[in-house]
Amino acid sequence: MRLSAEPAFVLHARPWRESSLLVEVLSAEHGRLGLVARGVQGPKRHLLRSALQPLQYIRFDAVQRGELATLSAAEALDAAPRLQGDAMLAGFYLNELTLRLAQRGDPQPELFEAYRNTRQRLGQADPLAWTLRRYERDLLDALGFGFYLNVDGDGAPIDPAARYRLDPEFGARRVLADRGHGDRRNAATGRALLALAADSLPDDADLASLRRPIREVLAFHLGPRGLKSWEMLGELARMSAGD
């Protein structure tokens, strides 16, 4: 199959053999693709190497035979956002999560648009936690793993004053008031779920309550091997606690 002038975002690139790269991209028409970029280490290939950096928006030509496609040309379509600090880690998380959950060769136009919007928000310095929760929601929906956020798994309306755990297969489950404090602390507020359903920024406390329940859903779909970005976030939290 020949791919011509295909728009895509670069998710990951790593050296392969002496002068080549293995590149993973999220394309508009063909979903996630693996590309072999040969001979990119020479001095005359600087522009090509620059175009194959993570988060870069590109247009490429390639020929696919089997699982991997051989890249013949690629050009950057814009300037990738220059992220620093927490935003840089958020960009790494965005790419790693997409790489792990999106299947190769499965067209996902909704995911492509969600990635595009999230990349733009990272570059605009929008609130990071809200930006990531919205992408996690959209990614789960695009891959067929999502569920309603304004009703629970039994179809009852979400109570803004209640707290809920997110079951990956059932949906929102209300945490009863007589359960242990830990169960409620690790649950999302009903207000947060309704805000996420309406795409309306909740207050800081409600927004913070979404992180653990959504991570449990993602961990279920990721399987036993978690994300390196989660490990990095945990290490940063431990370092901060020790200061």
Q: One digit per residue, pLDDT tens: the chain, 243 residues? A: 899 999 999 999 998 877 789 999 999 999 999 999 987 776 556 778 889 999 999 999 999 988 899 999 999 999 999 999 999 999 999 999 999 999 999 999 999 999 999 999 999 988 999 999 999 999 999 999 999 999 999 999 999 999 999 999 999 999 987 555 456 778 999 999 999 999 999 999 999 999 999 999 999 999 999 899 998 877 666 555 554
pLDDT, residue 42, reads 65
Question: In terms of Cα–Cα distance, which of 69, 57, 68 is closest to 4?
Answer: 69
Structural domains in the chain (count):
2
Tell me the sheet residues that pair with 63. 2, 70
Q: Residue 118 falls within a domain, yes or no?
A: yes
- Give the structural domain span for 43: 2-76
pLDDT, residue 181, reads 47
Given 25, 49, 76, the domain boundary residue is 76
C-alpha 5/C-alpha 21 separation (Å) is 20
Q: Residue 168 falls within a domain, yes or no?
A: yes
126 and 233 part of one domain: yes
Q: Residue 81 falls within a domain, yes or no?
A: no
What is the dihedral sign for C-alpha 233, 169, 108, 192?
negative
221 and 200 part of one domain: yes
91 and 178 part of one domain: yes
The 3 state secondary structure assigned to 31-84 is EEEEEEECCCCCHHHHHHHHHCCCCCEEEEEEEECCCEEEEEEEEECCCCCCCC
93 and 199 part of one domain: yes
64 and 184 part of one domain: no
Tell me, what amino acid is at 62? A
Q: Which residue has the tokens 């696919």?
A: 64
Given 76, 96, 125, the domain boundary residue is 76
| CATH code of the domain covering residue 120 | 1.20.1440.120
Q: Residue 189 falls within a domain, yes or no?
A: yes
pLDDT, residue 92, reads 95
pLDDT, residue 38, reads 87
31 and 117 part of one domain: no
Given 76, 103, 136, the domain boundary residue is 76
| CATH code of the domain covering residue 32 | 2.40.50.140
39 and 145 part of one domain: no
pLDDT, residue 240, reads 52
Q: Residue 27 falls within a domain, yes or no?
A: yes
pLDDT, residue 40, reads 77
pTM, two decimals, is 0.92
